[in-house]
Amino acid sequence: MYSPQVRWVNPRCLTIPHYQNQRPMIETNRLQLRPITPAGFEAILSEDSRALSTFLQVRVAADWLAFQAAREAIPFAAQFLKKHPEAAQWWSYFFIHKPSNTLIGLGGFSGSPSAEGVVEIGYSIAPSYQRQGCATEAARGLVEFALADPAVNQVVAHTLPAPNGSTSVLTKIGFRFQDVVNDPQEGSIWAWRLERSDYPANV
């Protein structure tokens, strides 16, 4: 999952309450990251913001899903979760801004940890909520959730191949640039990595 600059905060003590069939919810200072259930994907695919608002019991920012690539990924993400419900905690999350009780984006992981203990994060934030630290908070929440699992040794991310807001976010939370890689769909992209042994000492 991608945002305009990254493929697709401030909590040092991450709390992980639960909702809907014991799927983990990631709680940060200002954000609540709720796993997107099959019913949640149905609400998104209905393209009815009022239905989505009712489902989540939150306001919905008009531009919460502004990035085209994120919108295009929704049908695939919905089908994958339907076939692999056990992957829910390593898949997609709604981003709820708690102070305003508003849906402002989504993101999550590209799948369960690999055999080598690697997971990839991605996120997309509504333009109307950018430059407020929300992307950093969401990314850090995802990282801390991942590293709470002893099976995870490394978190990776990919961005467009130029300095931008998302490269700044990744740098802030301790990611290090690794290489330029070729993506079959996106072309050249930048690969970033955060080792368990480096977090949070290098932040």
Query: Is 164 a domain residue?
Result: no
Q: In the structure encoding, which two tokens stand for residue 197, read together?
A: 């042994």
* pTM, full prediction: 0.87
How far apart CA 141 and CA 178 sit, in angstroms, is: 22
Query: Is 174 a domain residue?
Result: no
Q: In the structure encoding, which two tokens stand for residue 168, read together?
A: 């700044």
Inter-residue contact 134 to 127 (CB < 8 Å): no
Q: Which domain holds residue 44?
A: 18-152
Give exposure, 129-154, as e/b (b: 16+ Cβ within 10 Å). bbeebbbbbbbbbbbbbbbeeeebbb
CATH code of the domain in which 131 resides? 3.40.630.30
Mean pLDDT of 107-119: 96
Nearest residue to 8 via CA among 97, 75, 71, 86: 71
Q: What is the pLDDT of residues 163-192, one digit of tens each?
A: 999 999 999 999 999 999 998 888 999 999
Query: Is 117 a domain residue?
Result: yes
The confidence score (pLDDT) of residue 18 equals 33
Inter-residue contact 41 to 74 (CB < 8 Å): yes
Inter-residue contact 111 to 100 (CB < 8 Å): no
How many domains are there within the chain?
Answer: 1
Q: Binning pLDDT at 50, 70 and 90, where does residue 4 land? A: very low
Query: Is 65 a domain residue?
Result: yes
Query: Is 136 a domain residue?
Result: yes
How far apart CA 63 and CA 39 sit, in angstroms, is: 21
The confidence score (pLDDT) of residue 41 equals 97
Write the burial class of residue 87 (CB in 10 Å: 0-12 exposed, 13-18 middle, 19+ buried). Answer: middle
Query: Is 167 a domain residue?
Result: no
Q: In the structure encoding, which two tokens stand for residue 82, read together?
A: 């339907």
Query: Is 8 a domain residue?
Result: no
Give exposure, 162-192, as e/b (b: 16+ Cβ within 10 Å). eeebbbebbeebbbeeeeeeeeeeeeebbbb
Give start and end residues of each alpha helix (H) in the chain. 38-45, 49-56, 68-83, 134-147, 165-172
Query: Is 176 a domain residue?
Result: no
Inter-residue contact 150 to 156 (CB < 8 Å): no
Phi, psi of 193 (to 5 degrees): -145, 145
Q: What is the pLDDT of residues 136-159, one digit of tens each?
A: 999 999 999 999 999 999 999 999
